[in-house]
Structure formats: structure tokens, C-alpha cells
Structure 1
Amino acid sequence: MELKRESRSSGDTRKKHHLIKRLKKAAKLGEKLENLCSREAGKVDTRTVLEAQVGTAHQETLCQSIIDDIDPNIRYCAYVLRLGADSASDVEGLVKMTIGKNKGVGLDLLEAEVEAASLTSITWRGHTVPLRNADLAICILKAQDATTNLENASDADVEEATKMEMFDSLLEAYGDAERFAKNAVKEDMEATAKVKSSKSEQFSSDLNFVYNYVAYNYLSRRIQRNLMLVDSLRHKLEQEHSEGARFICGKYQDIVKLYDNVLQDSLALSQEIDAKIWYFKAWRTLYVASAYEILNKDWEAISLLGRAREYNSQARSALSQVTVPDKDDILVVTLKEVEELENIIRSYRCKARATWHLRHSGSDDSDVTKKLGELTIDEKSKSDVKEIIEEVKPNF
């Protein structure tokens, strides 16, 4: 009754809504008390049961009375929004529209918690561990949903900007999961420092496994995103080259910076990805050499291309030691890709050497430009490169 009097006397709308929520909560608690007394009829005296029933009915009446007070306002809002003529449908339509627009207060969090309850374990690299942290489970579920959306977008023709937004959502989810996992590991270390047991050791092992799973996927997806940006810049450079435009050195620097980020993330992973580290180093060095070539520093470019070939050979050697590739691996470097890169490096070295000889053979700039235009850096045209170089040799 006190809540009802306050709700009617108060002119503050915000306070009135707060009192209504308290009345609803009181009604629900009264209903639970009544159900409990009914189930335990043999253990609860008759007076208590009757008081619970009266209290429940009283709370429901108070709550319904408040609802009746605000019902005209709700129906008026529905009328203004032209939702219908019937009062019941007006209110129902207004509720559906509000939930559809705002998704209710905390509805997203509630749905995530319900889904997280179904995620009880994680299977990765042949091991299955239980997942006990609810907040961490919610973040992992978001990351899994974002991964599914990204994979579906990769199968379909989706714009690059849309894929980049999906990558950002995926990285945000894994970033949140990594923070939760790191905090959980830190708290567990502080707890086990005081008291240790066989059960706590198993719990710590499972928690570290989950953290490694999250950190691996987070770093791998960051690498994947940077590689997608590299491919985009590479296609733009190839298009400009085919159109006869002069290469811009800044674009090579952008690609080199992206490969720096890839290598930094790769070094944070385990030693089993040595082949990937050498492979990405080779690509990075290749574009550093291309930037030097644009600046007419041919000898430096030739030296860097030799180093890129060494890195690629290291990648081939490390890749040959991998007997069975991991099926859960996100970033896969195959022997075919290493061989293709080797052909690209060889083609670039041929062109760089030919450029150096042409510049030091006494030919004028127009002759150098003409003969360089005949050279190709396509890894599929080795014989064409050799033939053009043979034609250039008499002028050396």
C-alpha cells in the first residue's frame, strides 16, 4: 500500500516507473512464496499458507491497479502510431514494435546468457576441456557467430568493405574473450598460490588451454585480416602497372608495414609456424626490394631479393618437416604457395639484374625504358624472361 500511495502522489515519471517495477517484483515474490507453501503443505501451518495466498492476491491487485492507471496512456500512444482500433491489439503491437526497435532492456544480454549455457566445452587440436566461465562463454559464442558470418561471406560475392567490417566484429569478440581469459588466468594464479590441490591443478590446466585457444584465434584472425589488406594493395599495384602508371613507393611501404604486423603477430604464436614466419618474411623483403627498385637503387634491390630467396628456402625446409597439417589451423601455407613465391622472386631478380646492366651499359633512358617494358614479372613466364635477357646481353 505504501508503494501504491507513493506512486500516485509522486509527480516524477521516472520515480513512478521505478515504483511500478518494485510492485511487479513484489508480486512475483509473493507468487513464489505461495507456490512454496502449497508444495510444502504438510510442513507449513494453515495460517502461513493463507497469509501467503492473501499476500499474493493483494500484490497482484496492486500491480494490476497500477497497470490500469497507465493503460490509457499506452492506448493513446498506440492510437497516435496508428497501430489498430482494438485496445488489446494496440498494446500488443506497441510492445512488439518497441522490442523490435530496441530489443528490450537487456534482451541481447539475456539471449547471450541463454546461448552461453549451451556452450559447456571447447574442442581444439584433439582436446576437449570444459568451459566454466559464463562471461568467457558469451564472448566465444559471439566470436563463433562472427566467424560463421565471415566464412559465409567468403563463399559469396561480398564487397571488401563488408568483409572488413565482419573482421572488425570478429576481432572485437576475440579481444573481449582474451581479456576475460587473461583475467581468469590471473585470478586463478592468485588463488592457487595460497592453496593447491589436484582439482585446482586440473582447473588451471583447462583454463590455460582455453586462454591459448582464444589467443591463437585472435592472433590468427589479425594476421588473416592484414593479409587481406595486403592482397587488396597488391591488386591495386598490379592494376596500375597494367595501365602503365608509375608505381608509388608509398604503397610498397604500406605493404611492408602490413607484413611487419603479420610477423609481429606470428612471433607471438608457437614455434610450429616457423614456415609461416619465413614465408611472410620473404614476402616482406620482396616488397622492400621493389621499393628500392623504384628509387633506382638496383643493387640494393638485388641484394634484398637474394635475402628473400633465402627466407623462402627456410620456409620450404620448415614446411617439409611438417608431417600432418593441423586441420584446425586458420592460416595455412602450402608447398605450392612457397614454390609460387620462389618463381616470383626469381622473376623479380631477373628484371632487377637486367635493369642494373641496362643502366650501366651506356644505353640512353628511352632504350632502357623500352627494354624494361618487354620484361615480365609473371612467375608463369620463365622462358620469356630468359629470352628477353638474352636479347639484352649484346648491349651490356
Structure 2
Amino acid sequence: MKIEVNMTETKSNDSETITTTQQTSGAKNDSSKGPESIYTVPLLKLIKEAQQQHGLRHGDYQRYRTYCSSRLHRLRKVLHFPQGDRKGFKKREVTLDNLKDEKFVYLPLIQAERAWAYAMQLKQESNTEPRKKFHLVARLRKAVSHTIHLEYICQSPLCDARTKLEAQAYSAWMQGTLFFELQEWKQASEKLVLSQTIYEKLASALNEDEQILYKQRVEELNPNLRYCAYNIGDSSAQQDLLNMRSKGGKSELDALIAQTREKQAASLLEVTWRGRTVPVRLEKIRVFLLAYQGLDASLGKANDCDAKLSAYETILLDCKEAIQSLKEDLAAVAKTKVDLQSSQLGSQQYLLSYLTFLRATLTIDRNLVMVDVFQKNFAAYQSGESKKVAKPQEGVKLYEAMVQLSGELQQLQGMENDKKFQNDLELLTKVFKAFRCYYMALTCQGNRQWAEALALYQRAETYINQSEGKKLGDSEFTKYSRVGQDLAHLRSLVNSGKCAAHAQNILGVEDINAAMSGLSVRSKKVYAAPDLQIWRLAVYKLILYM
């Protein structure tokens, strides 16, 4: 687009206008370029490119701030727009009158970025130095003032509609960031929603290549908006915020989730387990217990096994941190205080037993999901439907881990005299051992170790006989009833495998005897009778099933 300039008049002031127009367009000696160009400044693209190239890819805000300062100095030098001279500093701001080049728009933009980068640097340092929080807010206020000035000069007729909208969106985002730090949730939400709306409209108006950047910006604003809605009092935003973690959010999202859980955990002051209530003093334990309460909802929304495994890995990591913090607290108390001998377990030791119980049961739950995945892959590999190799050793490892976890739970401090607890764990251990023996037998069969495979099948059958028909009575273990119900199917697999191993074992012994009897000093030939072997196997199966 071009802005037409009336060049028919010959007055001196019109000549000055034409000269100014020619200088602005960068063609002082070419009178054919008299009309001024409308500036199109893709602010978001410029910002993101600079951030990725100068430190923010690695979170180095100090490097980015240094770059902004150097860029400002170079721009002022190129535009002949210094702030003062050798005698002293004289502040000069870009106005509508001196907006002769689109690079003048860059000045308030880079000033705002420099102030924002300084604020983010202070935010990283404020974790150890709380005083820097005040300096952080001051820098954000400075950044907001620069963005408001940027929005003002972009209202010039020399800027196109896209530049005006981008300036409005950028200014609204910066103001929303300031209100967010000040915890003024309503104002922050209004500004962030305005910014998000503008970026959405811009994305819909641009081509596919340019849309990606603006859609990413829209997604980046979602966590802050959810958190604002939660603090304002929107109950639906609370669960939405926690559910966003499974979508692979960034570190800011993890921080927001942590803040949300800490706020909810303030009311979680005690926990009751197996009829005993103990206080919860440490914040990490409260946050973990809160996450554990929402685990069932997260698993219910999981679409596949991978999503379930991801949820288990996350909660297990939180559990590990909670146990570590409690152990450190108990160690610190032990150094300063000698507890009196008591027959009853201390409240914090009992809490440690509870957390250890949760860690073990969560690990078993995760392993059972992994077993489901393994069994599907193993069946597909055996039937030839899949070329992905699945070996029975994988099943052995999974069930071996569950056997060890069951043993740890049986030795859990404070649970030694709980007969119901111990009986259920003993039953679970036998079930896991039955499956472990079955997969070990399959491994031996693959190695043509028929005698060992037969012995393992018989051991698996023993465990099945000891476990089948019994029920888990403790409410803590009723969720594992499905594992006990699988014993009937396991029995059929064990019976068929045992028959095959027995037959192969007999044939192997007879083949050895035949080979030994056929040996002589004069002859080294061994005569095999494959038809006779097939006949013997058929006769054996016939006798077995009569």
C-alpha cells in the first residue's frame, strides 16, 4: 500500500513534505518514490528469533539482556537518534513526528524486552534473595511503560493493521505478566485473555507458515489463564490445570501445578491409615498425598497404557521425594533428640511406613500395566502377527520385581503383627511366584532345557494349587483380585507346557540311549529314525489323554 502525496502544488512547505517523504523511503535522489510506505513490523517474530538466538533457548536472561542493550546502541547510531552528547544525557523518545523509518518502532520494543529480561533474571535469583522481588516488579513496570509507548506509536497511519494488532497483543501480555506477579488475578486474566484473543485472530488471518508461531503463543498463555481462573474462584479450572501436566507442558506449568497443590495441601494436615491417624508436617508429603488422591481420575482419563505408565512414573517420582524428605527430617530429629523406648511406633515412623507402602503398591500397579503390554507383544510375536521380539525373560524380570516388593511389604515396620495384612501379602507373593515360574519355564524351553522347564512347570502348579480359590480380604489389596482370577488361565498354560516339556525330556533321554548303543569302535555312523520319533510322540500323547 502507498500513501499518496499531493505533488501538484509548488509551495515551499509542500516541497519540504516531498523531501521528507523521499528521505523516509530511503530514496533521496529518486523522485519517483515519493509516496511513503506503510510499515509492517512482525513484532512477535522479531522477538522470538532474537530470544532463540541470544540466550533464551537455554534460559540465559542475562545474555539476552546484554544483547538488547547492544542492539539499542547500534540502532540509535544507525538512526542518528542518540540520547544526549558528550556533555550529558538527554532523554529522547520516539514520537509520531519523528517516525521516519520502521526501525524507530524497534526502539521501544527492544527497551521493553531488555526490562522484561532483567525482571526474569531477577525472578530466577529471587528464590535465594527475596529482596529482589521488589526490583523484579519495578523492572516489569518499566517494561509495561515501554510497551504502552510502543502501542501508542504503532497507532500512526504509517503502521499497518497487523503491526497495530501485534503491538496491542504484546502490550496486553506484558501488563498481564505484571499483574500476575502482583497476584492481581482478575486484571491479569483480563489482559492475558485480550492478548490471547488477538493472537488467535492474527493466526487465522496469516498463512500456514506464519500461523505456527502465533498458535504456540496462544498455547503458552493457557497455563497462566488457568491459574488465574483458579485463584479467582473458578472450581473447574483447578482440575483443568492439574490435567494439563499430562500434555507435556513447560517448566512454568510445573511451577503453577506445584503452587496449586501447595495451596490445596494446606488443609491436608493429617492422614489415617489402618485405623491410626498421624500428622503430616512436611509440605512435600502433603503435596504428594494430594497428587495421590487425584491418581484414579488421571488413570481413568488415560487413553492407552503409555499414558498410564506416564502417570505412574510421575506419582512415583513425587513419592520418592516425599520419602526422602521425611527420612532427612527423621535423621535431623534423631541428632537433637533421644526418643524414649516405646512399644508403639512413633507417628513419623508410622508415616514413613505408609509412604513406603504406597511406593511399593504403586510400583506393583505400574508393573502390572507393563505385564499387560508385554503379554500382548509376546502373544503377537509367537503368532507371527508382529516382528517385534518379545522374550519370556521380560516377564521373569517384572514378576521378580513384584515378588521382591511383596517381601519388602511383609517386613514393613509396624505391620509385623497384622495377620490380615501378612496373609494377603503371602497370597500375592505365591501368585506372583507362579507367574514367574511359568515364564522361567518358557525361557528354559527356549534353551532346550527340558528337565529344568518341567521342574519349573511343576513348581508353578504347586503355587497355583496353594493360591487358587483364596480371596484377598484386606481392602488395601482387593484391587489385585484380577491377578488371582488369571490363575485359571495360567493353569491351562502350565498344563500344556508341562506335557510338551515332559515329552521332549523323554525323547531327549531315549535319543541319547539310542546314540550310545549305536556307537562302536569300528563304525562312527549313527542311524537316526525320524519316523520312529514322531510315532513315539503320538503314542505318548495318546496314552496321556486316555
TM-score by length of 2: 0.48
In 2, distance between residues paired with 1:151 and 1:369? 52
1:83–1:94 contact (8 Å) kept in structure 2 = no
Pick from 426, 433, 452: which aligns with 1:274?
426
In 2, distance between residues paired with 1:236 and 1:114? 43
Look up the match of 1:345: 494
Pick from 429, 446, 449: which aligns with 1:297?
449
In 2, distance between residues paired with 1:229 and 1:303? 27
What secondary structure, in the 3-state scheme, does the structure 1 residue paired with 2:409 have?
Answer: coil
Look up the match of 2:268: 119
Q: Is 2:333 the counterpart of 1:213?
A: no
Q: Is 2:334 the counterpart of 1:189?
A: yes
Shift of 1:207: 1.7
In 2, distance between residues paired with 1:338 and 1:22? 63
Pick from 213, 216, 233: which aligns with 2:374?
233
**Structure with larger Rg:** 2
In 1, distance between residues paired with 2:259 and 2:298? 22
In 2, distance between residues paired with 1:366 and 1:295? 24
Shift of 1:304: 1.7
Q: How do 1:19-168 residues align onto structure 2 when only pairs under 5 Å count?
A: 25=134, 69-72=145-148, 75=151, 82=165, 91-92=175-176, 95-96=192-193, 97=196, 100=221, 103=224, 106-153=255-302, 158-168=303-313
Return closer, same or farther for 1:299/1:16 CA change in 2, 3 Å cut-off: closer
In 1, distance between residues paired with 2:132 and 2:445? 77
In 2, distance between residues paired with 1:147 and 1:291? 36
Q: Is 2:396 the counterpart of 1:251?
A: no
Aligned-partner residue type, residue 179 of structure 1: Q
In 2, distance between residues paired with 1:261 and 1:77? 67
Unaligned segments of structure 1, at least 5 residues:
1-7, 29-61, 375-386
Q: How do 1:10-25 residues align onto structure 2 when only pairs under 5 Å count?
A: 13=115, 25=134
Return closer, same or farther for 1:283/1:24 CA change in 2, 3 Å cut-off: closer
2:503–2:540 contact (8 Å) kept in structure 1 = no
Q: Is 2:330 the counterpart of 1:172?
A: no
Aligned-partner residue type, residue 185 of structure 1: L
More moved, 209-218 vs 250-259: 250-259
1:301–1:352 contact (8 Å) kept in structure 2 = yes
Return closer, same or farther for 1:358/1:130 CA change in 2, 3 Å cut-off: same
2:148–2:171 contact (8 Å) kept in structure 1 = no
CA RMSD of aligned residues (A): 4.7
Shift of 1:216: 1.0
In 1, distance between residues paired with 2:398 and 2:341? 46
Shift of 1:371: 10
Look up the match of 1:38: none
Task: Give the share of equivalent positions with the same residue, in percent.
Answer: 20
Return closer, same or farther for 1:131/1:256 CA change in 2, 3 Å cut-off: same
Aligned-partner residue type, residue 350 of structure 2: F
Cα displacement string for residues 226-254 of structure 1 (whole angstroms, at most 9, x for unaligned residues):
22222322222222333499997x71122
1:256–1:284 contact (8 Å) kept in structure 2 = yes
What secondary structure, in the 3-state scheme, does the structure 1 residue paired with 2:278 have?
Answer: strand
TM-score by length of 1: 0.64
What secondary structure, in the 3-state scheme, does the structure 2 residue paired with 1:122 have?
Answer: strand
Return closer, same or farther for 1:392/1:267 CA change in 2, 3 Å cut-off: closer
In 1, distance between residues paired with 2:394 and 2:169? 63
Shift of 1:332: 4.1
In 2, distance between residues paired with 1:284 and 1:268? 18
What secondary structure, in the 3-state scheme, does the structure 2 residue paired with 1:123 have?
Answer: strand
Return closer, same or farther for 1:76/1:298 CA change in 2, 3 Å cut-off: farther
Structure with higher RCO (Cα < 8 A, 6+ apart): 1
Return closer, same or farther for 1:331/1:367 CA change in 2, 3 Å cut-off: farther
In 1, distance between residues paired with 2:489 and 2:370? 20
Return closer, same or farther for 1:123/1:83 CA change in 2, 3 Å cut-off: farther
Q: Is 2:405 the counterpart of 1:265?
A: yes
More moved, 354-363 vs 168-177: 354-363
Look up the match of 1:356: 505
In 1, distance between residues paired with 2:444 and 2:293? 42
In 2, distance between residues paired with 1:265 and 1:302? 27
Shift of 1:312: 3.2
Aligned-partner residue type, residue 284 of structure 1: R
1:113–1:134 contact (8 Å) kept in structure 2 = yes
In 1, distance between residues paired with 2:131 and 2:503? 84
In 2, distance between residues paired with 1:268 and 1:282? 18
